[in-house]
Amino acid sequence: MRASPLTMAAIYFFMGVAFTYIAASMESETLWSFPTLLPIVIATFNFAVTVRLINIHLKIKQAKNDKKNK
């Protein structure tokens, strides 16, 4: 069975939160080190995918409603 875009968006959102937490909890001298920047970049990607999947979910929902009303 295929997962819905909304379910995948939730998974990507929680992964983004986890990577943000990992980046925030890194104990390094500066924010601009590679071990800190890598989780931040991954979290940013996850949040961007979350927004795209929510938009896809809304478009699918709207298309189903338009088809149902015809």
- Range 39-55 burial, b when 16+ CB lie within 10 A, else e: bbebbeebbebbeebbe
pLDDT at position 64: 92
pLDDT at position 42: 97
Q: How far is CA 67 from the centre of its chain?
A: 29
Report residue 70's pLDDT band, with 50, 70 and 90 as the boundaries.
Answer: confident
Q: What is the pTM of this model?
A: 0.86
21-69, pLDDT tens digit by residue?
Answer: 998 888 777 778 888 899 999 999 999 999 999 999 999 999 999 888 8
* Distant-in-sequence, close-in-space partners of 27: CB < 8 Å, separation ≥ 6: none
Residue with tokens 């996850």: 46
